């Protein structure tokens, strides 16, 4: 089992954390990937195939595999945010955080007072995280539960300093494909275009200036290493479906050689 809030502690200490990314909706696949040694696994319920029932099983599976369970929630779905935290998720990725008001609303759903307005009910989280005293969990949860707001649009880029300064928001998480789509006015998905690369550096700098964690999604290990060298510290890499596809392709290529 993973140690409670271990990824939050590592990130706050300045370490780099690599996470898997799982949209496929399969707890078994997420668990299998976690067991290979990823520090965290993000279950993507915005664009992925997870429903609440599978999220509950997936959070448990990732936790028991020794990784930190995280969830990307659907757009502005604060109910899912608080519910998956109660089920044991230790990080929430929220899409399309475009304004300071968006960031405040996200933090309010994910953090207990005085930072937010999360209501009490961690029925599954406490036993998963081996906490039996409610005040002990309350004392640790705000620091140990990570809030990662996704910066994906031109509007978010314009407001990035105010977003980064929001109390209760722990990280700025770059969604490079939506960012490139938005910056190109819907004409391209070139994540290495000069305008996109400049925006990536701008978002990282805003996070560092505000004392927040720079985070990003990367399509492969090579890109992840580049982003690590550029100062990003929470880095999600590839996807479960891509990993399965690449593995199948490699087997078939060997068979046909």
The dihedrals phi and psi of 22, each to the nearest 5 degrees, come to -130, 95
Where would I find the H helices in the chain? 6-12, 27-34, 52-64, 78-86, 100-110, 125-128, 134-144, 154-158, 160-164, 176-183, 194-209, 221-229, 240-256
Using CA atoms, how far apart are residues 1 and 167, in angstroms rounded to an integer?
30
To the query of whether residue 47 is one of the catalytic residues in this protein, the response is yes
Using CA atoms, how far apart are residues 192 and 61, in angstroms rounded to an integer?
35
Using CA atoms, how far apart are residues 221 and 198, in angstroms rounded to an integer?
21
Q: Which of 47, 64, 78, 198 is catalytic?
A: 47
Name residue, tokens 């300071």.
100
Contact between residue 18 and residue 224 where contact means Cβ atoms under 8 Å apart? yes
Beta-carbon-side half-sphere exposure of residue 157 (alpha carbons within 13 Å)? 19
Residue among 79, 92, 233, 113 nearest 169 (CA): 92
> Which of the residues are catalytic?
47
């Amino acid at each position: 089992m993973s140690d409670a809030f271990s990824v939050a502690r590592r990130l706050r200490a300045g370490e780099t954390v690599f996470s898997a990314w799982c949209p496929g909706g399969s707890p078994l696949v997420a668990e299998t990937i976690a067991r290979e040694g990823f520090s965290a696994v993000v279950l993507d319920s915005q664009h992925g195939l997870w429903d609440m029932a599978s999220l509950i099983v997936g959070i448990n599976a990732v936790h028991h595999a020794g990784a930190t369970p995280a969830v990307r929630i659907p757009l502005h779905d604060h109910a899912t945010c608080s519910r998956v935290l109660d089920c044991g998720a230790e990080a929430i990725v929220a899409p399309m955080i475009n304004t300071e008001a968006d960031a405040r609303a996200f933090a309010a759903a994910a953090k207990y007072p005085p930072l937010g307005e999360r209501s009490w009910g961690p029925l599954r989280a406490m036993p998963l995280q081996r906490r039996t005293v409610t005040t002990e969990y309350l004392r640790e949860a705000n620091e140990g539960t990570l809030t990662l707001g996704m910066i994906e649009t031109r509007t978010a880029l314009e407001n990035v300093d105010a977003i980064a300064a929001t109390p209760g928001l722990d990280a700025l998480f770059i969604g490079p494909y939506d960012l490139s789509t938005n910056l190109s006015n819907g004409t391209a998905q070139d994540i290495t275009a000069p305008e996109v690369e400049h925006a990536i550096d701008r978002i990282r700098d805003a996070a560092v200036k505000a004392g927040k964690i720079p985070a990003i999604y990367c399509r492969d290990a090579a890109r992840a290493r580049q982003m690590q060298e550029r100062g990003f510290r929470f880095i999600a890499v590839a996807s479960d479906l891509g990993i399965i596809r690449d593995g199948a392709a490699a087997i078939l290529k060997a068979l046909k050689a």
